[in-house]
Chains A and B, each alone.
Chain A
Amino acid sequence: MKAPLSWIREYVEVPAEVTTDELTRRLTLTGLKLEAIERPGDQITGPLVVGRVLTQEPEPQKNGKTINWCTVDVGDANGTGEPQGIVCGAHNFGPGDLVVVVLPGGVLPGGFAISERKTYGHLSAGMICSAAELGLSGDHDGIIVLAPGAAAPGADARPLLGLDEEIIEFEVNPDRAYALSLRGIAREVLVSVDGATSFRDPAVREVPQANAEGHPVRVEDATGCPVFVARTVRGFDATAASPAFMVRRLTAAGMRSISLAVDVTNYVMLETGRPIHAYDGDRLAGPLVVRRARTGERLTTLDDVDRELDAGDLVVTDGSGVIGLGGVMGGASTEISETTTNVVVEAAHWDPVSMFRTGRRHRLTSEAGKRNERGVDPTICEAAADRVVELLIEHGGGVADPGVTVVGTPPPMPTIRLATDLAARVAGLPIDAASVVETLRAVGCEVTEVPDGDAAGLDVVPPPWRADITDPQDLTEEVVRLVGYDRVPSVLPTPPSGRGLTRAQRLRRRIGRTMAGAGYVEVVTFPFVGVDSLDALGIPADDPRRDVLVLSNPLSAEAPAMTTTLLPALLRTASRNVGHGQASCAIFEAATVTLPRGGDGAPILPVDRRPTDAELDSLMKALPAQPLHLGIVAVGEAEHSGWWGQGRAVDWTDAVAAVDGVAEALGLRLDRRAVTRAPWHPGRCAELVLGDVVVGHAGELHPKVCAELGLPSRAVAAEVDLDVLIDHAVDLRVAPSFSTQPVAKEDVALVVAASVPASDVEHALREGAGDLLESIRLFDVYTGEQVGDGRVSLAFALRFRAPDRTLTEDEIAAARDAAVAAAGERTGAVRRS
C-alpha cells in the first residue's frame, strides 16, 4: 500500500517536529512496516517555476518540423523580471497558458542540466517541461498546462506537481486489511505516533435515508452479500477529466488513471478501504440480483477474459444475465463508457471466504478482491457510495437521484471476553488493567468491564473494520504491540535436562564426517526429477524408481516429480563441476528420496480437538516413504598425479570402498553380489547386502550414461539407504582382546573358474580354516596361460594364531589344508603348485 504523506495528514494531525523518518519508524514498530519512501522531486534541483506564456511564434524548419519561439513571464524567478525566451517543440499550449519552466541552472531527472544555449537561431534560456521530462508518469507527453490561476508566474512549481511529496510504501500484513486505506493508515498514525491528534474519519458523513425509489436490488444470498447499497447519478459527463489531485494521488498509490468514473471509485476505495463498482445505468436491464452462479453460466470480465462460472461464485445479475463477479470484478457489458450519462454506484459487503475462493478459482487478483477477501468494514457502504456520488457530481456534473437503495444490515461484531491480565501474562510484562482498556479503546474497540465472579475481565467488541479480531489472543496482540514490543523483557526460559542428539542424529553426522574424511565433498541438490533424467540414466520402464510422486504445480515441466534416487542430480552436479574445470571431483549428498505408497491420500482432520491416534495413523500412512539415502559420485583421479608420478584414476573399487567406509563407521560389514542395474556398467556393479537386506549399489557407471551426461569415462557412483544402515548400526561396541602369541603366516594360491566370486572362495577358506584363523586377505589375482583359459588364480594370505600358545607346524598345516579342502569342495578350487 502506497500513500502520499500529505493525504495521510488530511485525516490526522501530526506535530511538525515528527519527521517522516520518525513517523515511519513508529508505524514500523507497531506493525505497519515501512517498505520505502519515494520522493519524486529528489531528482530535480534548481529553479522549477510557474511561467505564463506571453508570445508564441511558430517557425517552420528545413527538416519539416515546426518549433515555437516563446516568451514566458517567469516573474522574478530569473532575477530580472524580464520575459524569458525559450524554444519549444511542443504545440499543445498557447499564449496565456500557465506552464512549468525549468530555468538555466536547473537539473532534471537523469542528470539533465539546463543552460542557455543557441538553437534554431535563438538563445533559448530554459525549457518548458512535459510530465515525462520531470519524471512524472503521464498518459500524454505534451507540455504540462496548469489550471488557470493555479499560481502566479515565478512561483515554485513543485507543490503544484506533487514533486514536494513524500510517498510512503507500507507492507500490510494479511490481518490488517484496514490499513489498505488512508482511513486505516491515519488511524494507525493516531494510535502509534506520540502527539498525533484530530483524527477525521473519511467514512463518517451524513448520508441520505434509504428509500424505495432507488435502483431495485434483490439479494438472494444474504450470507454471501449481507449489505448492498445502490445510488444513481443522472446527467453525468463521462468524458470530463479527472481532477489533477486525484490523478496525482492515484498515481502515487500505484494505480492508473482511467476515466473520471473509474478514478472516483478507486479514489474512494483508497480513502475508505471500501471497493466500489460503477455500472452504466442505461445498460442495466432491470433489477440487480445477487446470487450464486449457476452451472454453465459465463461472464466476460472487465479484463476481457471469458470465464466459466462456478456454483460457488457470487454474481450480480440483471435481466440480461450475469453482469459481474460480485466484489471481485465487474463485467464488460455494463462497463462505463464515454457515452454513459447515468451511473449506478454499487457499494456492497461480501463474504471474505467467498471472495477468496472466487479469486483463487479464477486466478483473479484485483485491488477490490484483495480488500474484500481480507475483510472490509461492513458499516460504511452507504458513506462510501455517498462519497462517490459527491465526487462524480463535483467533477463530472449531473445530479444525485433521490432514490437510495440499501439492502441488508451489517453483520454484528462478536463480543470477546478478555481476562484483564492476559496481555501481561502473554507478554511477560506488567500491563495494568487501565492500560489494557485504554489501548483497546484507542484501536476502536468497545470495552465493558465485567466486575466480579469467575469470568471477571473485559467484554470487548472489536471495531467493524477489524474482522481479524476474533479471539482474546488477538486483543492481546493489539495491546502488546501498542504498549510496545520493545518493552518486552529478555528472559531465558529454563528447560528440563535434555537428552542431547538422538542416536540417529549423531550417526548421520558421523556418516557426513566419514565421507568428508574419505575425500568427498558434500553438495545439496533439488529433489525434483523428470522422465528425461531417468532416461539418461538408462533406468528401465518397469524399474520401481520410475514410480515417482508427481507435483500438481512444478516449477519446471522437465522435472515435475519428487525423485526416487539421488543419482540424477548428483551426476548432473558432477558433470557441471567437470564443465567448470574440476577434472577430478568426488561428491556426496545425504538426503531423503520419495517413494510413493499409493492409497487415497491424507484426511483433513478436525482442528477443534486433538485428532485420535487412529486418525493420525491414517494421516501418517497416507504419506509416501521418505528414506534417507546417501549418493556418491566420483570422476577423474582418486589420487592426483604430480611430481611424485602418475596418480590413480577412480574405479569401481572407490565407490564400493566409500560405502564400506560408511558401513564400517557404523560397525557394519556389507556383503556384495554382482548384479546388472542401471545406471551402472553391467559387469561392474555390486549389490550391497546387509544380512539379507539389499541396502544399495556401487560400481562403475555404464559408458553410455557417462557419454550421455558429459562425464569422463569410468566415472563411478553408489547409492545406499542410510536409514537401514543406521537402524542396524552397532549400538555398543565390546572391547576387543588380542592374542600376544606368535602369528603363523601361510599363503595359498587357488585356481578356480573365473566365474567363481572371490568372496565365495574366501568364505570357504574362512570356514574350513576354523577357529585358529585370525585373518584372511586376497593379495594377488592372476589370469593367463599358466592357469588356463577361463580360470583364475587367487592368492590368499592366511594368518593363524591361538590365544594361549604357539601353534605347532602340524596344527598350522592341518588348518591350512582344511581351508583349502573346503574351498575345493565348495568352489572347485585347486591349489596351485
Chain B
Amino acid sequence: MSGPNTDYDPVEVTPLKAEEVEAARDAAIGAISAAADLEQLKQVRIEHAGDRSPLALANREIGALPPQARKEAGQRIGQARGAVNQALAARLAVLEVEHEDRMLVEETVDVTRPVDRTPRGSRHPLTLQSELIADLFVAMGWEIAEGPVVEAEWLNFDALNLGPDHPARTMQDTFWVEPAEHHVVLRTQTSPVQARTMLTRTPPIYVVCPGRVFRTDEYDATHSPMFHQVEGLVVDRGISMAHLKGTLDHFAGQLFGEGIDTRFRPSYFPFTEPSAEVDVRCFVCRGVDADQCRTCRGEGWIEWGGCGVVNPRVLVACGVDPEEFSGFAFGMGIDRSFMFRHQLGDLRPLFEGDVRFSAAFGTEI
C-alpha cells in the first residue's frame, strides 16, 4: 500500500548508506535478543520495526533516489527488514513459551484445600433398602403392589381370616381410627395389599409390597409404632411351599450374600396354612463358631419374618378359586433386614431424622 508521503523530509536521506542500514539492522537484532519479555519486545518492535523505525524511514527514502540507485537500496533495506522481522518472530515465539510457562506456575493452587461449597444430599436408607428389594423382585418378573396405610378393618383383618374374635386382634396391637364403629385402622401389616391385589387382579399374581405399617408399640431400641415391611404374594397354578422356600432362599442370597439361605419353623398366621417363621442364615458367622457372633447371638440364624401357603379361606374372600389356584405369601421387616445387614443395633436412628445418619448411606445401598 502506498499513500501520499506527507512526512517526506529530504534531509534525512542519509540512512540509505550501506553501513548505516547494517548498523540499524544490527541495533534492531541486538535489541530484539535483549528483550526480556513480551512487553519489552513490543517496545523493541515499535522502535526498530515500527513506522518510525530507522529502517522504515530509510525505506521511504528509496523513492527519492535516482532510479539506478533505487534497486540496490531497495534490496539492501528489504534484506535488513527481513532479518529484523525474522528475529522478532523467533524472539516472540521464545518469549511466548516462557510467558505461558510462567503464568502456569504463578496460577498454581493448593489442591488440598476443602471444596465443600455446596451441601451434599442423600436418600433415606430405608427408602434405598425398599428400592433394592423391589429391584430384586422386579428382576425376577414380579411387580410392586401398593396400598394405603389408613386401611379398612375388613382388608387388614377379616379378609385375611382374622375374624372379629381372633386373639391376634387385640387392642394392644392395632391403632384404631375413631370411632371404632367406622372400622378403619392403621394397617398393622402390609398383608391387606395381598387382599387388594387379589381383588383387583387375576392370577397369575407375583407381587411384592414394601411399605409402612403401624403397631401400638412404645418406641424403644427394638420397637417402633411405625416400621416397614415387605409383603410378597404369589397366586398361580400348582404353587407349593417349595416355591416359597426357593423364592426366600433366592431373596436371602441376593440381599445378604451368595450362599445365605433360609430355615423354616412351624408358626401360626391366620392368613397362611401351613405357616412358618423364616430364619436367615447369619451372614456374619454363617453358623460357624456362632457362639462368638454378636449378630446372631450364638444361634447361627436370625429371625427374618413370617410366611406360608395362602389359606384357602383368604383366597375365597378375595375371589380366587382355591380349587384352581394356590399361593404363598411372606412378610419381612425392612427395618429389621436393614439393621442386621448394616449392623445397626438400635432402630431409633432410622426415625430420628439426624442428617448425619442418612448422609452416611448416600444415594444407593
CB within 8 Å of B: which residues of A?
Answer: 28-31, 33, 173-176, 353, 356-357, 360, 373-374, 425-429, 471, 473-474, 476-477, 480-481, 485-486, 488-493, 495-502, 505, 509, 512-513, 515-528, 549-555, 562, 570, 573, 576-577, 580, 582, 584-587, 591-592, 594, 600-611, 616, 619-620, 622-624, 626, 637-640, 642-644, 647
B350 and A524 contacting across the interface, CB-CB below 8 Å: yes
In angstroms, how far is the closest chain B Cβ from the Cβ of A357?
Answer: 6
Closest 10 pairs (CB-CB, A-B): A601-B182, A428-B242, A610-B319, A428-B240, A31-B266, A573-B353, A477-B274, A173-B268, A523-B353, A516-B121
A517 and B121 contacting across the interface, CB-CB below 8 Å: yes
Given A491-B246, A515-B121, A584-B119, answer yes or no on A481-B266 (Cβ-Cβ < 8 Å). Answer: yes
Indicate which residue in B234, B247, B273 contacts A477 across the interface (CB closer than 8 Å): B273
B309 and A526 contacting across the interface, CB-CB below 8 Å: no
Indicate which residue in B152, B165, B268, B274 contacts A623 across the interface (CB closer than 8 Å): B152
In angstroms, how far is the closest chain A Cβ from the Cβ of B148?
Answer: 5
A429 to B273, CA, bound (A): 16
A570 to B358, CA, bound (A): 14
In angstroms, how far is the closest chain A Cβ from the Cβ of B78?
Answer: 44
A447 to B127, CA, bound (A): 51
A644 to B316, CA, bound (A): 69
In angstroms, how far is the closest chain A Cβ from the Cβ of B166?
Answer: 8
Indicate which residue in A509, A517, A605 contacts B131 across the interface (CB closer than 8 Å): A509
Indicate which residue in B114, B159, B268 contacts A174 across the interface (CB closer than 8 Å): B268
The interface stretch among B94-102, B135-143, B288-296 is: B135-143
Minimal Cβ-Cβ distance residue in A for B312? A473
B165 and A524 contacting across the interface, CB-CB below 8 Å: no
Q: Which residues of B contact A357 (CB under 8 A)?
A: 165
A509 to B140, CA, bound (A): 20
Given A489-B245, A639-B117, answer yes or no on A524-B268 (Cβ-Cβ < 8 Å). Answer: no
B120-144 at interface with A (beta carbon < 8 Å): 120-124, 126-127, 131, 134, 138, 140-144
CB within 8 Å of A: which residues of B?
Answer: 113-114, 116-124, 126-127, 131, 134, 138, 140-144, 148-155, 158-159, 161, 163-165, 167-168, 170-171, 174-184, 186, 199, 204, 206, 212, 216, 218-219, 225-226, 234, 236, 238-243, 245-247, 249-250, 261, 263-268, 273-277, 309, 311-313, 316-319, 326, 350-356, 358-359, 363
B-side interface mostly: mixed
In angstroms, how far is the closest chain B Cβ from the Cβ of A390?
Answer: 32
In angstroms, how far is the closest chain A Cβ from the Cβ of B246?
Answer: 4
B149 and A592 contacting across the interface, CB-CB below 8 Å: yes
A471 to B275, CA, bound (A): 14
A523 and B124 contacting across the interface, CB-CB below 8 Å: yes
A489 and B242 contacting across the interface, CB-CB below 8 Å: yes
Given A488-B241, A552-B176, answer yes or no on A176-B268 (Cβ-Cβ < 8 Å). Answer: yes
Given A521-B122, A551-B178, answer yes or no on A491-B150 (Cβ-Cβ < 8 Å). Answer: no
In angstroms, how far is the closest chain A Cβ from the Cβ of B156?
Answer: 10
Indicate which residue in B154, B265, B358 contacts A603 across the interface (CB closer than 8 Å): B154
In angstroms, how far is the closest chain B Cβ from the Cβ of A360?
Answer: 6
Q: Which residues of A contact B358 (CB under 8 A)?
A: 521-523
B141 and A609 contacting across the interface, CB-CB below 8 Å: no
B138 and A500 contacting across the interface, CB-CB below 8 Å: yes
B317 and A608 contacting across the interface, CB-CB below 8 Å: yes
Indicate which residue in B151, B154, B161, B247 contacts A493 across the interface (CB closer than 8 Å): B247
Minimal Cβ-Cβ distance residue in A for B126? A524
Q: Which residues of A contact B236 (CB under 8 A)?
A: 493, 495
A619 and B225 contacting across the interface, CB-CB below 8 Å: no
B152 and A602 contacting across the interface, CB-CB below 8 Å: yes
Q: Which residues of B contact A524 (CB under 8 A)?
A: 124, 126-127, 350-351, 353
Indicate which residue in A33, A497, A501, A607 contacts B141 across the interface (CB closer than 8 Å): A497
A429 and B124 contacting across the interface, CB-CB below 8 Å: no
A552 and B180 contacting across the interface, CB-CB below 8 Å: yes
Indicate which residue in A426, A474, A577, A623 contacts B354 across the interface (CB closer than 8 Å): A577
Q: Which residues of A contact B126 (CB under 8 A)?
A: 524
B178 and A501 contacting across the interface, CB-CB below 8 Å: no
B241 and A428 contacting across the interface, CB-CB below 8 Å: yes
Minimal Cβ-Cβ distance residue in A for B161? A607
In angstroms, how far is the closest chain B Cβ from the Cβ of A393?
Answer: 36
Q: Which residues of B contact A576 (CB under 8 A)?
A: 352-354
Starting from the known contacts A426-B309, A471-B273, 7 additional A-B residue pairs (CB-CB under 8 Å) come to: A33-B265, A493-B234, A513-B363, A521-B359, A550-B178, A624-B184, A647-B117
A585 and B355 contacting across the interface, CB-CB below 8 Å: yes
